[in-house]
Chains A and B, each alone.
Chain A
Amino acid sequence: MSTDNLPGVPEEPVARLGMFGVTDSGDTSGYGRLVVRRPPRLSTPKPYGGYFDDVADGLERVTGDAYADIVERVVVDRGELTIHVARGRLLEVMRHLRDDLALRFELSLGVSGVHYPEETGVELRAVYHLCSITHNRRVRVEVSCPDADPHIPSTVSVYPTHDWHERETYDFFGIVFDGHPALTRIEMPDDWEGHPQRKDYPLGGIPVEYRGATIPAPDQRRSYA
């Protein structure tokens, strides 16, 4: 069978089998052998287009030979530039991004966390959104760390605004920002157990009864994802 006319198979791992998230009983929907794979991991080759090249080249110029070690991959998606940075080199990258005259990302919009439990070794991500007022540009810096070793260097010394944002990301994802002046919980109570925004942390909730019918808790409802 020729596969020329078929779309490329996205890379492993498998996102889901069958339909409706049914795992406990036989799926009679006819979708039982449906295999949906995760979308491929994106990596954009040069040139990136627009000012993205200026940012990447600027970073390459200030980091020199170390650029290949520092920048794991660059993704240009939906008109946004994401630079994936090795976590050990985050601090120097941030400092260059802020201080270099050609880069000059003087405003940080904070840290956001994402948990990808299926991506072994890079489950936890800290995502930094930076903005340059001088050049009117934006860039996103993404750093990953494994679940088993959830440590990322703190960037409060470069961007003081990250103080609360890193505390929030620690609170919700359990990422430990080494070097943070006071890494404590910020939204959840101090004695809370677990990190609620992680995918392995249940949503909770109770079934609701309405006019004789019972609606299960939101995380127990049929899922189409």
Chain B
Amino acid sequence: MTAIHDGETAHAEQDATEGKVYSVNGQDWDEVVGAVAESSEERLVINMGPQHPSTHGVLRLVLTLDGENVTEARVGIGYLHTGIEKNMEFRTWTQGVTFVTRMDYLSPIFNEAAYCMAVEKLLGITDRVPLRAQTIRVMMMELNRISSHLVAIATFGLELGATTPMLFGFRERELVLDLFEYITGLRMNMAYVRPGGVSVDLPAGAVDKIGEFLKIMPGRIKEMRKLLDENPAYTRRTKDVAYLDLTGCMALGITGPMVRAAGLPWDLRKSQPYSGYETYDFDVPTETSCDVYGRYLVRVAEMEESLKIISQCLDRLSGSELKGKPVMIEDKKIGWPSQLALGPDGLGNSPDHIAHIMSSSMEALIHHFKLVTEGFRVPAGQVYVPVESPRGELGAHVVSDGGTRPFRVHFRDPSFTNLQAVPATCEGGMIADVIAAVASIDPVMGGVDR
């Protein structure tokens, strides 16, 4: 027996080879249940999604139910596949950044950083990326980690029936997005990180604004903790739900908060540091409960750790060592000569640079034109660069054939792999716990389907 959501006529019953099919159009669940009760079948297959509000985008779950128990859970993805990886093979290396930033749209800076670090590794310029750019990257990544975890916790609360965590979470996230807009010009999909550095230096006043954010945020996280940490309605829905221990995590390739909630302090920022993470002082929070509640605790604690890192970044950026230093590699064959400047019509090329190439130096014009239209060549080879994204290990496998375009870019997105844990965490449990289980994985379908 199957109940499907998209039938043309309400509760039209039809005999199909797999059993009776019920069409459900909303508000008629009681009638379906009544009809099922009369029938002799005990198994009910329901289709959750691809547009169910609790599925973080277009995720489809096919659940086989025995009463309220889930006996089989299958996951259908691909509804948000946009061919980003294929498209990148027809753009220059620098243009690739604008594509990868749209993969996992809740953590765009991580996608950009992983891709750019891979391109830099292929070019062999990893050590020549300016320290100021590295520090800005780290700061932006940690800001992004906070905004991403806030969405995870906010939607999480909403899906379990609590509206206030959702409102709080999105309100706090807005603070981070405002910072992103102030620094990069865009709230999401910023294409801020570029091969060789970052696209533009911090604008005047950015350090103060982030400083204010650092003052507000600890209190806001405490508010969130007050709402959820000891909330009996919340803990009863999350404790001992969707259990997945370390063995299961390793077999399924699970990384990120899920594996840290299973007790393994595996964080690439500590174990295989990049962008200078080894020079920052922070802890890797872990839990040993292996359940939804543990994953929530890990995420909240990670936000607090991120605040520590951001404050260290700020100290360095405003210190004498990095103040006013370049944010793009000083290699004229890779770093664009133009610097962005804020004009009356928004952010654009600096008038000084336009004047230079248009009226005083023909060579500079040619150089600018070649770099922008043709791009730079990247020596042939392949690299894999992992970063610790909010959801786990985000790996960029980038292959070059020596040309001006990527030959192949593959993103090992943590959401894609982590979603494989749905059957392991949901089967045998109650249908209501499926929502909590999926929410604790925190999948972002833009990253899953790419």
Contacts and interface: CB of A to CB of B under 8 A. Distances in A.
Q: Which 3 pairs between the two chains have the least Cβ-Cβ distance?
A: A161-B253, A225-B403, A112-B410
Given A107-B250, A110-B412, A224-B375, A189 B420 contact: no
Most B C-beta atoms less than 10 A away, residue of A110, A136, A188: A110
Interface stretch (B224-232, B333-341, B391-399): B391-399
B324 interface: no
A160 B90 contact: no
30 contacts: A15-B402, A38-B402, A78-B124, A78-B381, A80-B382, A107-B255, A109-B412, A110-B253, A110-B412, A112-B397, A112-B408, A127-B382, A129-B395, A129-B412, A133-B250, A133-B264, A136-B271, A138-B384, A160-B252, A161-B253, A161-B417, A164-B419, A187-B449, A188-B78, A196-B83, A196-B86, A203-B83, A218-B87, A221-B90, A224-B374
Interface string B235-271: 0000000000000001111110000000010100001
Contact of B90 (A79, A129, A218): A218
A135 to B, nearest CB: 11
B81 interface: yes
Nearest to B393: A109
A82 B254 CA distance: 23
Given A107-B250, A197-B86, A203-B87, A187 B81 contact: yes
Contacts of B410: 112-113
Interface string A207-225: 0000000000011010111
Interface string A43-68: 00000000000000000000000000
Interface string A15-48: 1000000000000000000000011001000000
A106 interface: yes
A115 B375 CA distance: 23
Contacts of A187: 77-78, 81, 449-450
A69 interface: no
Contacts of A107: 250, 253, 255
B311 interface: no
B418 to A, nearest CB: 10
A31 to B, nearest CB: 13
Interface residues of A, number: 45
A116 to B, nearest CB: 8
A15 B272 CA distance: 36
Contacts of A183: none
Nearest to A160: B251
Interface of B: 77-78, 81, 83, 85-87, 89-91, 121-122, 124, 250-255, 264, 266, 271-272, 374-375, 379-384, 386, 393, 395, 397, 399, 401-405, 407-408, 410, 412, 416-417, 419-420, 449-450
Contact of B420 (A114, A138, A164, A221): A164
B384 A140 contact: yes
A170 to B, nearest CB: 13
A88 B83 CA distance: 31
Given A80-B383, A203-B87, 18 more contacts: A38-B402, A39-B379, A78-B122, A82-B382, A109-B253, A109-B384, A112-B397, A113-B410, A127-B382, A140-B384, A160-B251, A161-B254, A164-B416, A164-B419, A219-B90, A224-B374, A224-B403, A224-B404
Contacts of A185: 78
A169 to B, nearest CB: 9
Contacts of A39: 379-380, 401-402
B90 A203 contact: yes
Given A110-B412, A110-B417, A224-B404, A161 B252 contact: yes
B412 A114 contact: no
Nearest to A192: B78
Contacts of A203: 83, 86-87, 89-90
B87 A127 contact: no
A186 interface: yes
B118 to A, nearest CB: 10
A46 B10 CA distance: 70
A77 interface: yes
Nearest to B266: A133
Contacts of B89: 203
A182 B384 CA distance: 28
Contacts of A163: 420
A78 B90 contact: no
B252 to A, nearest CB: 5
B81 A129 contact: no
A161 B251 contact: yes
A159 B395 contact: no
A15 B402 CA distance: 10
A108 interface: yes
A42 B400 CA distance: 14
A42 B254 CA distance: 33
Contacts of A38: 380, 401-402
A165 B77 CA distance: 13
